[in-house]
């Protein structure tokens, strides 16, 4: 079992070993913050109970969260404007937002093209979509994808000690750079920045496994294997 506290401990060790290292969440937060101004209207798509929006919700003109899970919305930690809705049918007019942020959502989408089209629709021209998602080509994700769908949620609960309410079905239909660039390009969004971010804490069930994962991170720091890092962090602009 690798609960969040254990992951964070190993992640801190990795940071101490690699000065300047930024994990996927930290880099995502920086990208989101780069595009926010006091006049910005922001949508957190698939907002859950909170997250990076908590850093910025009081510093923008409008911050809205949308999620299909009513329990998550009822427990949200900062947003006042919350909407229960389907990301494939967003209840907002076109060009409503300057920034759309979306984290830990892409891997769950059965129809990502429809959702990405909706996210693009509600962005104004010149607005930014910022994404954080697991990489479909990382070894952790590949292992999950080999597990039959009906057992995937049970596996996540068992390994990472997650509550049932925090585990959702997995699809991984748009969790590569090629898939994202292609789908978003079709709806008028152009990539501005794309990062493949490693994190050995996902398999750090012991010191030995952590050392193996750190060694693999070094191997994949260069060349084509860099595209297999565990997290994708990217920003796209609407032309």
Residue 118: predicted pLDDT: 98
- In CATH, the architecture of 22-156+168-199+229-238 is 3-Layer(aba) Sandwich (3.40)
Whether 43 contacts 67, CB under 8 Å: no
CA distance from start to end of the chain: 45
For residue 236, the number of C-alpha atoms closer than 13 Å in the C-beta half-sphere is 28
The token pair at 198 is 């490693």
Whether 200 contacts 210, CB under 8 Å: yes
Give one DSSP letter per residue of 51-111, joined into a string. STHHHHTTSSSEEEEEES-HHHHHT-SS-SEEEE--TTS-SS-TT-EEEEEEES-GGG-SS
Cβ neighbours of 74 (radius 10 Å): 10
Shortest CA distance to 23 belongs to which of 206, 209, 195, 156?
195
**pLDDT tens per residue across span 154-185:** 656 655 656 656 667 888 999 999 999 999 99
How far is residue 96's CA from residue 66's CA, in Å, rounded to a whole number? Answer: 13
What angle in degrees, to the nearest 10, is found between the helix axes of 139-146 and 149-160? 130
Residues of the chain with pLDDT under 70: 1, 149-167
Give the distance, in angstroms, between the CA of residue 217 and the centroid of all CA atoms in the same chain: 20
**pLDDT tens per residue across span 47-84:** 999 999 999 999 999 999 999 999 999 999 999 999 99
Helix (H, G, I), strand (E, B) or coil at 236: strand
Residue 149: predicted pLDDT: 62
Residue 107: predicted pLDDT: 95
How far is residue 165's CA from residue 67's CA, in Å, rounded to a whole number? Answer: 14
Q: Where are the beta strands (DSSP E) in the chain?
A: 41-45, 62-67, 81-84, 97-103, 123-134, 189-197, 231-238
How far is residue 210's CA from residue 5's CA, in Å, rounded to a whole number? Answer: 15
The token pair at 120 is 């693009």
């Amino acid at each position: 079992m690798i609960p969040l506290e254990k992951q964070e401990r190993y992640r801190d060790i990795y940071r101490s070993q690699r000065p300047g290292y930024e994990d996927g969440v930290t880099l995502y937060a920086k990208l989101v913050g780069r595009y926010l101004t006091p006049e910005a209207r922001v949508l957190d798509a698939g907002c859950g109970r909170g997250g990076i929006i908590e850093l910025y919700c009081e510093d923008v003109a409008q911050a809205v969260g949308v999620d299909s899970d009513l329990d998550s919305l009822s427990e949200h930690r900062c947003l006042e404007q919350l909407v229960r809705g389907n990301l494939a049918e967003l209840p907002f007019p076109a060009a409503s937002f300057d920034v759309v942020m979306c984290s830990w959502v892409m891997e769950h989408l059965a129809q990502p093209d429809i959702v990405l089209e909706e996210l693009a629709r509600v962005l104004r021209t010149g607005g930014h979509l910022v994404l954080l998602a697991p990489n479909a080509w990382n070894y952790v994700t590949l292992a999950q994808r080999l597990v039959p769908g009906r057992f995937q949620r049970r596996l996540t609960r068992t390994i990472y000690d997650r509550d049932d309410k925090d585990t959702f079905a997995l699809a991984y239909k748009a969790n590569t750079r090629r898939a994202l660039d292609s789908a978003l390009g079709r709806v008028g969004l152009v990539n501005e920045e794309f990062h493949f971010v490693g994190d050995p804490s996902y398999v750090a069930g012991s010191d030995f496994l952590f050392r193996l994962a750190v060694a693999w991170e070094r191997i994949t720091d260069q060349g084509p294997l860099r595209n297999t890092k565990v997290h994708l962090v990217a920003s796209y602009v609407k032309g």
